Amino acid sequence: MNSSFYDIIIVGAGASGLICALECARAGKKVLILERQPIAGRKILVSGNGRCNFTNRFVSPSKYYPSNSPLIKNTLSSFPFQKCVDYFSSLGILYVEEEQGRFFPFTGKATAITDAFKAALAETSVEIAYNQEVTRIQHASFFTVYTKATTFKAKKLVLACGSCAYPQVSGTTLGYTLAQQLGHSIISPIPSLSGWTLKENFSRLSGIRAKVKLTFQEHQTEGEIIFTNYGINGPAALNMTPILTRLLSKQALTVTINFLAQVPHVQAFLAERFRQFPFRKPKEFFAGIVHESIANLLIDFKGLRKNKPLQEQNPSTLKNAFETLEHWPITVTGLRPWNEAMVAAGGVNTREINYNTCESLLCPGLFITGELLDIDAISGGYNLHFAWASGFSAAQELVKEK
């Protein structure tokens, strides 16, 4: 490994660091990546259940990213969906589009992404130093980067360290510490894209999956939820997490579940079903439209008499049961811990970052990219897309001669 002076040092071999390094090296820059892990792209390899949902057809700055930072709009504009797909195709990656606009490698394995980057980087002059944990950075006319083993120097520096989410696969607070050393403030990180803990006890439904619509105030998500012994998880819950996560530190939040989300007019549907099957007992009536265990919980929860046909039930109780099936309230008290959180909300304050280039406004020559920034999104490839886009955007500025 050549430890001389570099044009650019990138701390972190994750999504934003890899694409930034590749683009800078292709422009003739002398680049070094310092990675604290023994391999590159640890989080890429576990994303999308090991398949790597690397982008989404519906990437939009206003709809899927809860922060209103102009950095999101400008960064995504520099690397929109089609440019992302074309870029990965140019790396030799075949891809497939699945439901909800999600894109995966055709091989079905995240290694297709990391292997393509490693091959492309090997074709350039990029050096990657593994097992190099940065401990301190100094900045004067250039950057001096200290690791536990040695010291490196560069004209420009990129912090692409990621967040503290998923500590078991490289999540770390290191990036926050290094950013603070260089003058930046940190919005306290909190888990996002994580399961919900509930006030109510749904343990009798543990393991059951249901396709639902979740509603919180004016926000709605549709998809599958999975009941657990602590509450709920699953895509629909995860996709609402970015909306809830910043509010949960202040209070518990009420979300409603519509168990008949695919039915256009739920109450009219149930009323017609009642007219059709008034002689059925509750369990028989709900059979075929909701899971048996969900029906049993509803019957117990609302006090329907199990051995009486619907036409003999208390009309008010029956009406309330029907309404609950469409608007079942749950109380979200918190999110699961960091080792279950896919991403982090919080990070480097984006007000301290140039919205067009990802360069620090406080430390000239420093660029901050990816999940280290206070930007997060719903699941479905949106977080990874921002990481690629921010690394690409930074590279466009870094390769300019100054």
Query: How much is the pTM?
Result: 0.90
382 backbone dihedrals φ, ψ, rounded to 5°: -70, -40
Q: What is the CA radius of gyration of the chain?
A: 25
Beta strands in 148-203 (DSSP E): 151-159, 186-192, 196-198
Handedness of CA 192, 15, 358, 36 (dihedral sign): positive
* Structure tokens given for 285: 């009536």
pLDDT (0 to 100) of residue 402? 62
pLDDT digits (tens, 9 = 90+) for 344-402: 999 999 999 999 999 999 999 999 999 999 999 999 999 999 999 999 999 999 999 76
pLDDT one-digit tens code per residue, 45-101: 999 989 999 999 999 887 788 887 899 999 999 999 999 999 999 999 999 999 999
**Which domains are present in the chain?**
6-192+339-398 (3.50.50.60), 195-336 (no CATH)
pLDDT at 113: 97
Tell me which residue of 394, 301, 355 sits closest to 23, measured CA to CA. 394
pLDDT at residue 170, rounded to an integer: 86
* Low-confidence spans in the chain with pLDDT less than 70: 1-3, 402
